[in-house]
Amino acid sequence: MNIKILFGGLLVMGALACPIAIYAQEEPDAIALKNNEFEDNFYEALKQKGIENYDKAIQSLQKCLNSEPDNAIVYNELGKNYLFLKNYFEAEKAFKKAAELDAKNRWYWQGLYDVYYEQKDFNRAIPIVVKLTEWRKAYYQEDLVSLYMYTQQFDKALTLINELEQTVGTSEKREMYKLQILATSKDSKPGKEALEAAIAKDPKNEDNYIDLIYLYSENNQEAKAEEVARRLEKAIPQSDWAQVSLFKFHINNNEGEKATQSMMQLLGSRKIDSKIKHRVLNEYLIFANNNPSYLPSLEKAVDYFKDVKEVNVPKEIGKFFYNKKNYAEAMRYFEKSVAQKDDDVEGVELLLMTYAESAQNDKMYKLATGYIDLYPTQPKLYYFAGLAANRLQQFGKAKEWLESGQDFVVDDAALAKDFKQQLDIAKKAGGKS
């Protein structure tokens, strides 16, 4: 779970989300099962969790514990389901038990961190994050900086910020934290005059420009902040940080070409924090939506995120355009999303929705039926297969798919109604191909 950056964002990209990329260890959803009863209960729990029936998942997991009372993976699954239900007391107990049984598994500690973080119990979260740094030091140190800030342990935060600057470089979030820390001390508060003097003394020191830009921005002196950014660009032409500020000014001034150039430079930079890149992409997305001639540049920008594992950027862009009823653009990005992560069922279903809205019936049928073999319990796949078959006047196939899939519809009245409607169409047509 990365701590949320202080900038707002259109897309849900960094907002207090726990890390979903798998690194040194695999998340323990898979287990060598000892007997059929345990296996049935465990996979039933996974199935119920997948369709958000968390209470039923918990019941199945409790049955697993009857035969294997010291199974850490079962406790971890219990913790996840209790957390989904916001039963923090039971979730904490379950994750603690899992970590007690297998202290070397990062995911059990991560689950405990999630519990404390959702409750904003930052003091209890801190020692867990310290423990998590044993697996991914720099990654969790970023969270630790924010936790120290939230608990006003500014000395520890500043020490860690300085360490991270030496090991992984600067980031916008940490720079802002540093300014907040320094602002709490009257003796060390870096005033504008002091920063201007520092720039005059050493015009090649990028950090002083950045600090001054933030100070002006915090005081809503955007014109002065832009002037400092341009001075930085002139003093250090290769500065990627100058483009972060200049991009915003170009967007505000409706200078599309200049904004595009700034965006492409900072997206390709290794110095700029990924969260800043996401924020810039969000702002350019809104700009391009209002200025369609820049949509091709947006698509090129999205390609910079193709190796990002934590967030499927094309899918999020597709959602934006889908909500705007721009199905042609939404389809383009959902297709990129599925190509990037073909085991993302939500991404597949979003693409099917776009095909349905755009009357791309052949594509809808091929995609839906192709995924049914991989995910045979996902009712929406059957629905879209039946819908496409009806539209293609293959009513026998439609009836077959819809009748096969309707048994998987659970607690979804709207979807059940859609199934019935399409079945009625198929049956009235005689159920014949």
Segment 14-22 mean pLDDT: 33
Percentage, residues of the chain above pLDDT 70: 89
Residue 184 has pLDDT above 60, yes or no: yes
Give residue 28's pLDDT. Answer: 52
Cβ proximity of 340 and 306 under 8 Å: yes
| pLDDT band at residue 291 using 50, 70 and 90 as cut-offs | very high
The answer to whether the 36-171 and 365-433 domains have the same CATH topology is: yes
| pLDDT band at residue 165 using 50, 70 and 90 as cut-offs | confident
Give residue 8's pLDDT. Answer: 31
Give residue 371's pLDDT. Answer: 94
Which stretches of 51-136 are DSSP H helices? 54-67, 72-84, 88-101, 106-118, 122-132
| pLDDT band at residue 5 using 50, 70 and 90 as cut-offs | very low
CA angle 143, 145, 147 (to 5 degrees): 70
- Kindly report, residue by residue over 191-226, the tens digit of the pLDDT: 778 788 888 888 888 888 888 887 777 777 778 877
Q: Which residues contact 394 (CB under 8 A, 6 or more apart)?
A: 433
Looking at 1.10.8, 1.25.40, 1.10.10, 1.10.150, the CATH number of the domain 365-433 comes to 1.25.40
| Highest mean pLDDT, choosing among 114-123, 161-170, 301-310 | 114-123
| pLDDT band at residue 12 using 50, 70 and 90 as cut-offs | very low
CA angle 183, 186, 188 (to 5 degrees): 75
Q: Which two structure tokens, joined as six digits, stand for 332?
A: 């383009």
Nearest Cα to Cα of residue 390 among 357, 415, 363, 426: 426
Nearest Cα to Cα of residue 265 among 393, 257, 121: 257
Give residue 269's pLDDT. Answer: 86
Residue 387 has pLDDT above 80, yes or no: yes
Q: Which two structure tokens, joined as six digits, stand for 169?
A: 């470089």
- Kindly report, residue by residue over 327-367, the tens digit of the pLDDT: 999 999 999 999 988 889 999 999 999 999 999 999 999 99
Domain 36-171 homologous superfamily, CATH: Tetratricopeptide repeat domain (1.25.40.10)
pTM of the predicted protein model = 0.53
- Kindly report, residue by residue over 94-139, the tens digit of the pLDDT: 999 999 999 999 999 999 999 999 988 898 999 999 999 888 888 8
pLDDT: is 175 or 297 the higher one? 297
**Radius of gyration (Cα) for the chain, nearest Å?**
26
Q: How far apart are the first and last CA of the chain?
A: 51
| pLDDT band at residue 44 using 50, 70 and 90 as cut-offs | very high
Q: Which residues contact 69 (CB under 8 A, 6 or more apart)?
A: none
Question: Inter-axis angle of helices 379-391 and 413-428, to 10 degrees?
Answer: 30
Domain boundaries along the sequence of the chain? 36-171, 190-237, 239-296, 365-433
Backbone angles phi, psi at 10, to 5 degrees: -75, -45
Cβ proximity of 145 and 157 under 8 Å: yes
